[in-house]
Amino acid sequence: MTRTKTLFDVYIGVDYSGAGLPDEAIPGLAVVRAAGEEPPAVVRHSHHPQGRWSRSELHEYLMSELAQTDRRVFVGIDHGFSYPLSELAHYGLHTWDGFLDWLSRNWDTRRLSIGECKKRAAPYRNANLLRLTEARYAIGASSVLDLDRRHGHMSKNVSYSTYAGLPWLAALRRRSDRGPVQCWPYDHIDVSESGEAAVRPVSGHVVAEVYPKICKERLAYKSAQPDERYDIALSAHETDAFAIAEWAQQRDGEGAFAPYFRLETLTPHERRTAALEGWVLGCL
């Protein structure tokens, strides 16, 4: 692959999990990193016999990557970044940062498990409501609100990952040594008083929500698994993280990554919705 001028130098794919405690190393967390033209590689935690990560350790790892000043880092994470608009309105939340603060106060998943937070009756409404990006484009995605796992297969429900991950994302956003981490598309859509929604180009480090199923389909994983192409053994979670990193690296190297960030195929209404609900990168 001949690399053109790229947006990023490093591509990190994260398959997330809401299982266990914040400091508990769990098999459901997987990290894959690709740099430049080098093949993606699984990043295993050096202090765990099986290389497993806890959410708190993953947070510190991402902090160290996003603190670098000599390279541009893309991080794609497999969990929801926001609520459907109707739920944000129900709780009186009008900005994404306000939503992050509210959820972090009500779901203390940086200290407690999801199960413990549910016992403490944190406010949530079970539902199968989908965000626009899920309902129309990321077909097969589960609702971030489905905490009782009523809809879809238990193992594929994204709600636990979302509630476990968002307080860490909020902390990641606040603690960057270079100012707030850019989270796409929230930091890139400007909505005017007239309702126009302009999308600014990405620059520097960027963290985005990514759906591994889309990446695997674009890379034709059904016919060409990573282990067949790179001669490596991957778990299902590592395969999902691998797909995110490989897709981002490949698209950027071909000069085809930027259009995904510009959201040019969306209507003005869809861009306004994405400014609060967010968007799954790759859905056009």
Which has the minimum average pLDDT: 54-58, 100-104, 122-126, 203-207? 122-126
Q: Do the domain assignments include residue 4? A: no
CB distance 172 to 181 below 8 Å: yes
Average pLDDT over residues 62-78: 94
pLDDT at 154 (0 to 100): 41
Q: Do the domain assignments include residue 2? A: no
Q: Do the domain assignments include residue 1? A: no
pLDDT at 155 (0 to 100): 44
Task: Give CA–CA dist 61/212, Å, rounded.
Answer: 21
Strands (E), the chain: 10-15, 30-35, 41-42, 73-77, 182-184, 189-191, 197-199, 206-209
Name 35's bridge partners. Answer: 10
Q: Do the domain assignments include residue 283? A: no
Q: Do the domain assignments include residue 177? A: yes
User: Which residue range forms the structural domain that includes residue 244?
Assistant: 10-277
Confidence tier at 225 by pLDDT (50, 70, 90): confident
Which has the minimum average pLDDT: 23-27, 77-81, 148-152, 170-174? 148-152
Looking at the chain, the whole-number percentage of residues with pLDDT higher than 70 is: 92
Average pLDDT over residues 157-178: 85
Query: How many domains in the chain?
Result: 1
Which has the minimum average pLDDT: 40-49, 136-145, 258-267? 136-145
Torsion angle (degrees, nearest 10) of CA 231, 236, 240, 242: -20
Is 75 a residue whose pLDDT tops 90? yes
Is 3 a residue whose pLDDT tops 80? no
CB distance 80 to 146 below 8 Å: no
- pLDDT tens for each residue of 102-143: 999 999 999 999 989 888 765 667 678 899 999 888 777 788
Task: Give CA–CA dist 8/64, Å, rounded.
Answer: 16
Confidence tier at 186 by pLDDT (50, 70, 90): very high
Q: Do the domain assignments include residue 128? A: yes
Average pLDDT over residues 267-274: 94
CA triplet 54, 176, 282: central angle to 5 degrees? 75
pLDDT at 284 (0 to 100): 84
Q: Do the domain assignments include residue 26? A: yes
Kindly report whether the peptide bond that precedes residue 167 is cis, defined as omega within 30 degrees of 0.
Answer: no
Nearest to 86 by CA among 122, 147, 127: 127
What count of other Cβ atoms lies within 10 Å of the Cβ of residue 51? 16
**Token pair in block for residue 218:** 């674009």
CB distance 96 to 170 below 8 Å: no
Q: Do the domain assignments include residue 282? A: no
CB distance 74 to 10 below 8 Å: yes
